[in-house]
């Protein structure tokens, strides 16, 4: 099978969509498929099978937003798109931005079936224009991308039932959808890892996620301020993004131990998870929450926001693993419970390890390939 994957942002694995994309690429190649990537990643410009298009040069204000979020959007070039699609059995598009719209139009002209991933929740976009909590703006986003893009593809990959239900409810359209988790890499397993010397006397609470408004880092920072064990707790944030300075300022105002902030490779992240004591996921908006699943797969108990806009709340297997969204005092009480009850903590770590078995990367990638293979046959049947 020859698969062309359209990725409107660089494929550097610094966000969930890029990780999902490259996981799929690696799996398809391991199955003997020919994989082509169409995108604007300059670092891959000369790589075999990579079809490069330039980045869009927006007006200065928009460019600054894009740069702060460490992404770049691809400018569609018809000739390059046609070359990337020539001879392909199927096209899979990761996100519904400008190049994606042109790609689906050209693929249909070339009689190539198209599937598309749903990796972009409305609030991930509207948060950048201070409209994250506007029901009208979020509904308009979903209706717009349905009409202009998703209504034109043959099938949609949803990482969770949660996001499929939201999209279909807001657009009032049933879709041909496949619910497939993005999956947890097999590297994320429980290991015995010693804490670094400077953390041996600390209770380490970890959060993995981009420094963006909807991830709600400050809720966790303020929770530590309210904890009885404030001086004992060390926050570790693994991620990058535009709001790092803001989170650091919040920590200084709260007079807690300065958070440790790093963007780590996967092997480094596995070690960090395995010497941490608790994982907290305060994010108010989340399509799936693979980072939370990665932590669970290494044996950490998660503390998860009960936000109705987050699929991650469905990972709760015990009432004390959920806290009221944006409520730092409630989160502080939950943190204190787990510090004070190490035996209960051990019991639920085992339960969560069992729960994580439902999200293996290999199983997810097999389901993704089955979906692509099913729709690639459409072209064969029509030729």
Name the pairing type of β-strands 177-179 and 155-158.
parallel
In this prediction, residues 316-344 reach a mean pLDDT of 95
pLDDT at 382 over 60: no
Task: Note the pLDDT of residue 63.
Answer: 66
Is the residue at 192 inside a domain? no
- Residues paired with residue 203 on neighbouring β-strands, in sequence order: 233
127 secondary structure, DSSP code:
G
323 and 378 together in one domain? no
Residue 189 lies in a domain: no
Asked if pLDDT for residue 10 goes beyond 70, the answer is no
Alpha-carbon distance of 311 to 285, in angstroms, equals 8
Tell whether 127 is covered by a domain. yes
| 90 and 372 Cβ atoms separated by less than 8 Å | yes
Residue ranges making up the domain that contains 108: 2-183+361-382
374 in the same domain as 351: no
In terms of domains, do 229 and 137 share one? no
In a domain, 113, yes or no: yes
Q: What is the pLDDT of residues 111-135, one digit of tens each?
A: 999 999 999 899 988 987 889 999 9
Give the integer Cα–Cα distance in Å for 252 and 281: 21
Residues 368 and 252 in one domain: no
CA-based torsion, 246, 252, 255, 258: positive or negative: positive
Return d(Cα 296, Cα 315) in angstroms, integer.
9
**Helices (H) and strands (E) in the chain — how many of each?**
14, 13
Q: Are residues 329 and 371 in the same domain?
A: no
Contact assessment for residue 216 and residue 284, using Cβ atoms and an 8 Å cutoff? yes
Q: What mean pLDDT is predicted for residues 54-83?
A: 79
Sheet order of strands, 177-179 included: 50-52, 34-39, 2-6, 90-93, 114-117, 155-158, 177-179
Is 369 within the bounds of a domain? yes
CB-side neighbour CA atoms (13 Å) of 206: 29
What is d(CA 256, CA 233) in angstroms, rounded to the nearest whole number?
A: 8
Q: Do 258 and 160 reside in the same domain of the chain? A: no
CA proximity to 254, closest of 246, 242, 244: 246
User: Could you tell me the pLDDT band of residue 70, with boundaries at 50, 70 and 90?
Assistant: low
* Mean pLDDT for the stretch of residues 153-168: 97
Q: Both 280 and 376 in a single domain?
A: no
Burial of residue 279 (CB within 10 Å: 0-12, 13-18, 19+) is: buried
- 68 pLDDT tier (thresholds 50, 70, 90): low
Same domain, 257 and 378: no
Indicate if 365 and 352 belong to the same structural domain.
no
- My answer on whether 267 and 121 are in the same domain is no
Both tokens of 28, joined, read 């398809």
The answer to whether residue 188 is domain-embedded is: no
DSSP letters for 215-234: G-HHHHHHHHHHSTTTTTEE
Three-state secondary structure along 48-111? CCEEECCECCCCHHHHHHHHHCCCCCECCCHHHHHHHHCCCCEEEECCCCHHHHHHHHHHHHCC
**Residue 163 predicted with pLDDT over 80:** yes
User: What distances in angstroms separate CA 130 from CA 2, 49, 64, 97, 125, one per listed residue?
Assistant: 41, 39, 15, 20, 9
Give the span between the Cα atoms of 206 and 301, in whole angstroms: 11
**pLDDT value at position 42?**
85
Which tens digits make up the pLDDT trace of 244-277?
999 999 999 999 999 999 988 889 999 999 999 9
Number of domains in the chain: 2
User: What pLDDT does 277 receive?
Assistant: 97
Q: Does the pLDDT of residue 65 top 70, yes or no?
A: no
Q: Where residue 314 sits, what CATH number does that domain have?
A: 3.40.50.2000
What is the Cα 329 distance to its own chain's centre?
A: 27
Report if residue 312 sits inside a domain.
yes
Q: Are residues 328 and 270 in the same domain?
A: yes
Q: pLDDT band for position 240 (50/70/90)? A: confident
Same domain, 89 and 220: no
Q: Left, alpha or beta for 87 (phi > 0: left; psi -120 to 50: alpha)?
A: left
* Average pLDDT, integer, range 316-320: 88
- Point out the least confidently predicted range of 45-54, 57-66, 73-82: 57-66
């Amino acid at each position: 099978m020859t698969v062309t994957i359209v990725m409107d942002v660089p494929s550097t694995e610094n966000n969930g969509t890029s990780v999902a994309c490259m996981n799929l690429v690696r799996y398809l190649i391991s199955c003997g498929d020919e994989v082509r990537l169409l995108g604007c990643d300059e670092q891959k410009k000369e790589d075999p099978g990579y079809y490069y298009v330039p980045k869009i040069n927006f007006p200065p204000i928009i460019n600054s937003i894009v740069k702060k979020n460490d992404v770049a959007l691809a400018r569609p070039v018809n000739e390059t798109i046609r070359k990337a699609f020539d001879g392909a059995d199927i096209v899979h598009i990761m996100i519904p931005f400008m190049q994606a719209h042109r790609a689906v139009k050209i693929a249909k002209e070339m009689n190539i079936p198209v599937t598309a991933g749903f990796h972009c929740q409305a609030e991930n976009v509207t948060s950048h224009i201070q409209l994250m909590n506007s029901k009208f703006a979020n509904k308009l986003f979903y209706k717009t991308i349905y009409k202009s893009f998703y209504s034109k593809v043959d099938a949609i990959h949803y990482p969770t039932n949660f996001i499929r239900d939201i999209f279909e409810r807001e657009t009032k359209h049933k879709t041909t959808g496949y619910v497939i988790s993005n999956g947890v890499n097999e590297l994320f397993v429980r290991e015995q890892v010693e804490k670094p010397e400077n953390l041996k006397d600390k209770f380490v609470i970890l959060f993995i996620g981009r420094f963006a408004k909807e991830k709600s880092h400050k809720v966790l920072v303020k929770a530590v301020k309210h904890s009885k064990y404030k001086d004992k707790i060390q926050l570790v944030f693994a991620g990058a993004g535009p709001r790092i300075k803001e989170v650091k300022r919040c920590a200084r105002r709260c007079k807690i131990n300065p958070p440790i902030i790093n963007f780590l490779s996967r092997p480094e992240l596995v070690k960090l998870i395995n010497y941490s004591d608790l994982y907290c996921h305060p994010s108010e908006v989340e399509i799936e929450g693979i980072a939370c699943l990665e932590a669970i797969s290494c044996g950490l108990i998660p503390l998860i926001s009960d936000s109705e806009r987050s699929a991650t709340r469905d990972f709760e297997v015990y009432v004390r693993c959920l806290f009221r969204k944006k409520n730092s005092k409630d989160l502080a009480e939950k943190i204190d419970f787990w510090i004070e009850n190490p035996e209960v903590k051990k019991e639920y770590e085992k339960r969560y390890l069992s729960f994580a078995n439902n999200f293996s990367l290999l199983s997810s990638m097999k389901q993704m390939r089955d979906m692509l293979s099913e729709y690639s046959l459409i072209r064969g049947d029509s030729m």
